[in-house]
Homo-oligomer: A and B are copies of this chain.
Amino acid sequence: MSYRAPIKDMLFVMQQLAGLDNVIRLPGYADATAATVQSVLEEAGKLCGEIWAPLNAVGDRQPAQWRDGRVSASPGFEQAFRHFVDGGWQGVAHPSEYGGQGLPKLVGAACIEMQCAANLSLATCPSLTDGAIEALLMAGSDAQKRRYLPRLVSGEWSGTMNLTEPQAGSDLGLLRTRAERQHDGSYRVFGTKIFISWGEHEMSRNIVHLVLARTPDAPAGVKGISLFLVPKYLVDEDGHAGERNDVNCVSIEHKMGLTGSPTAVLQYGDRGGAIGELIGEENRGLEYMFVMMVAARFAVGTQGIAIAERAYQKARSYAKERVQSRPVDGSAQQSVTIINHPDVRRMLGTMRALTEASRALAYVAAAHSDHAQRHPDAQARAMHHGLYEFMVPIVKGWSTEMSVDVASLGVQIHGGMGFIEETGAAQFYRDARILPIYEGTTAIQSNDLIGRKTVRDGGAVAKSLIGEIGEVVQALEASPAFADNAAFKAMHRHLAAGNQSFANAVAFMLEHAGKDPNAAYAGGVAYLKLAGIVLGGWQMARALLASQRLMREDPLFHGAKIATAHCYANYVLPQAAAFEAAIVGAQGGEGVLGLHEDAF
């Protein structure tokens, strides 16, 4: 099997770090017992490992094809997607009142990770449907919900998000697509949208496009953007799809990776206007989109974790098979499998440590989201909401940047074979590269982390995290294992130092973001990565404590967890100081910032 869902690792994180027991006790999750969760993961793992994963390379080698406005998916994709829909997987974490299974986000996140690891190109399709569902749940009218949600939640129809235009990428204020109100209350939409993932395909019977556009009298800039629903086939009152709407796919992009996922250029209104309906109120589109984007950004972070896991599994298999060179310690007189060479170990250990740390942080964030939604106490909900919001740009930015590095290490472990496309390692390296870009680049995430998440509340959430990490540092020191366990010592030392670097960076941002924004934002990506490394280290330290406690139950499994935490402490956490230097020491990179444009 080319991908085996790491269910045991996932359950370890869910139970030991993300508090699965507390999540399933939240109101509304009565059906989600620990046993249910495990069997959901196992079923998801089967679908992903057996049906989706073998098609991953197929999608890469036989990309989606555009012809005369129609897009045919890669061979096998439609059938694999059918299995997904028939299994009810689209609705795992959506409300049961619209036909979903109503499971916690924590469980949904693990399922999405598996889908993305198995076949990232295919998995982006239902992920965008999730976005459309979120938007309708948040801002749709009751009638809209009734008409669209059941078929979206079942997976019968898919969804898209239409933000980007050629001149408007990160800068949505520049968008020009216009929507004209008709006498019947509907709108006619005109314009060109680019980079629309799964913007056209025939795997589902209808596609529900969510489109940002301006009404003629809207204010300029981001305050004049509204959100419209434009279906590929018009939908009647009873939710049946009929006539083709005036939205057309004029081409798909030729991309470096993720080629199984068609990226469409959509043309609205060439034949009189695409018929759309307003979602929520006029001029509040960006506000709705931001709420949706939180979920979408979290999902893209999960994609990074997924691709890192898959790259790790591939490199691990190769390292256990490929025989090359004698061991440096002279312990064998013949060539050995390369997993026995120290640098291959170091690379595999680093890949695994980064993957596990980012998974742990993402799942912990998902649990906070579940508590933020369902906790009976309003103050607790607010607290969890704040933590989730703080973590999302980190999950998005850090996990995806990490995935590029991990996929690159995966290629390196394969040596020359890694560069040959048939091997498959290169695909992960190519696919991963979009992740730190789409749904907001890492710089956009770091702007969010600084502005909305750190500075706006005066650093309250950041400081609460620093406090929690400090408690884990103390717990390491207080553990009976501390005296003679090198992993504990290394983690204690580097997590304490990392937490101090994080605290210094938070203080720097609080001081400078207002009065010297260039200085703050020049260090933004470093701040995001520093936060990721330290928050990931916090989770690895908690995993270390848990595995030490559970060691006797499963020495091989927990021994590996301890070694992986040790590896994280030595190879990843020490980078925190370098990022601190790039923020606090660099004082906003005065060197490059001060330079005249012509000097570049």
Contacts and interface: CB of A to CB of B under 8 A. Distances in A.
Interface string A434-447: 10111001110011
A141 interface: no
A589 B349 contact: yes
Contact of A598 (B494, B556, B590, B596): B556
Interface in A538-565: 556-557, 559-560, 562-565
Given A171-B325, A325-B170, A574-B577, A345 B592 contact: yes
Contacts of A82: none
Nearest to A350: B592
Nearest to A337: B597
A290 interface: no
Interface residues of A, number: 108
A571 B577 contact: no
A373 interface: no
Interface stretch (A250-258, A303-311, A387-395): A250-258
Given A343-B443, A346-B522, A421 B256 contact: yes
A421 B522 contact: no
A219 interface: no
Given A419-B255, A426-B256, A433-B419, A571 B586 contact: yes
Given A335-B174, A447-B328, A566-B590, A416 B596 contact: no
A433 B426 contact: yes
A404 B408 contact: yes
Contact of A574 (B167, B516, B560, B578): B578
Contacts of A49: none
A169 B324 CA distance: 7
A581 interface: yes
Nearest to A418: B437
A415 interface: yes
Given A169-B415, A335-B174, A591-B564, A494 B571 contact: no
A564 B256 CA distance: 31
Nearest to A525: B343
Nearest to A583: B570
Nearest to A557: B599
Contacts of A580: 574
Contact of A599 (B323, B404, B556): B556
A101 to B, nearest CB: 34
A184 interface: no
Given A329-B516, A344-B443, A430-B430, 13 more contacts: A169-B324, A195-B416, A256-B419, A256-B426, A328-B447, A346-B589, A349-B591, A349-B592, A494-B585, A559-B599, A564-B592, A566-B590, A574-B581
